[in-house]
Amino acid sequence: MSVNGSLLFAKYAYSPNKLGYCGPARGGAIFDYCVANQSDQNLIKLLKGFEGALPYLKVIAKSNSITDIFDEKVIEAYWVGNELLNNVADSNFYDLLNERLRKIIGKNPMKWILTKPVLGAKPHHSFHVLDIYTKTGSSRSGLKTSILETINNCLVMWGKVCQNNNLARKQDKKIMVKYNSIIMKNGKLLFGKFAKKELICPFVNPEIGDLVSFHWGNVCEILDNRKIKNLRDWTKFHLDIANKTI
């Protein structure tokens, strides 16, 4: 069991689970694990309730001869992006999507989804958001926002901390980041101008100038330049692929 990998997954998955969009219906314990920065088999059991992400983790791990789907590099590949994605064959990703979605998606959207592995799409969270989640509405409580608002919340985004409120308790801390939101222009999804966004920091304690990732309003981790580049590049890559059939 990879402790670092399971905790990393939990920190990215906690916020949408809290909102009722994915994962186990009783996932409140995930928060406690993340705050304590500890993992065990009970956390792994909870994380296996994220049925949307699990097939992606399995294909990444198998394609790289990694036995533990919660290996830290596998988790990083899915949420942020790294070199493991390059080893996922187009045919394997095609088969995964076909097997997983053919019974729940109509023939017309399925026809377009199955063109994406041929275009180079990989099992990265940005692909799932842009080409699967927004088409299936696959959340326990349903989508309650516009598609564009959903994309901006559900994509793992990144920004530079420009303000914090210096509260003593880390889980109460709020920060402000500068980041590029996703906009729609001329019928295509693009990065917009820099904007500011307030975020909650339940698990990490970033300082002004730090680069952080965030998901559904929660800061997930402090990122180094390598991770920022990977997250930006893989998100842009899947935006371009989504725009081909938007």
In the predicted structure, residue 170 carries a pLDDT above the cut 60: no
Q: Which residues, 6+ apart, have CB-to-CB distance to 47 below 8 Å?
A: 6, 9, 10, 13, 23, 30, 70
Whether 12 shows a pLDDT value over 70: the answer reads yes
Residue, of 225 and 145, whose pLDDT is higher: 225
At 134, is the pLDDT very low, low, confident or very high (cuts 50, 70, 90)?
low
User: pLDDT: is 133 or 163 the higher one?
Assistant: 163
Judged against a pLDDT cut of 70, whether residue 226 lies above it is answered with: yes
CB atoms within 10 A of CB 207: 9
- Lowest mean pLDDT, pick from 46-55, 165-174, 219-228: 165-174
Assigned CATH topology for domain 147-243: SH3 type barrels. (2.30.30)
Consecutive H or E run containing 161: strand 157-164
Q: Are 239 and 189 in contact (CB under 8 A)?
A: yes
Q: What percent of the chain has pLDDT over 70?
A: 91
The reported pLDDT for the residue numbered 246 is: 80
Q: Containing H/E element for 83?
A: none
Distance CA 230, CA 213 (A): 12
Give the pLDDT of residue 151.
94
Summary mean pLDDT of the chain: 91
pLDDT for res 25 = 84
Segments making up each domain of the chain, as ranges: 3-136, 147-243
Amino acid at 76: E
Model confidence at 1: pLDDT above 80: no
Residue 62 CA, chain-centre distance (Å), reads 20
pLDDT in tens, 29-74: 999 999 999 999 999 999 999 999 999 999 999 999 999 999 999 9
SS3 of the chain: helix, strand, coil, percent, to 5: 45, 15, 35
Euclidean distance between CA atoms 206 and 20, whole angstroms? 26
Share of the chain above pLDDT 90, in %: 78
pTM, to two decimals: 0.92
- CB 59, CB 227: distance < 8 Å: no
- Helix/strand/coil (H, E, C) string of 5-27? HHHHHHHHHHHHHHCCCCCCCCC
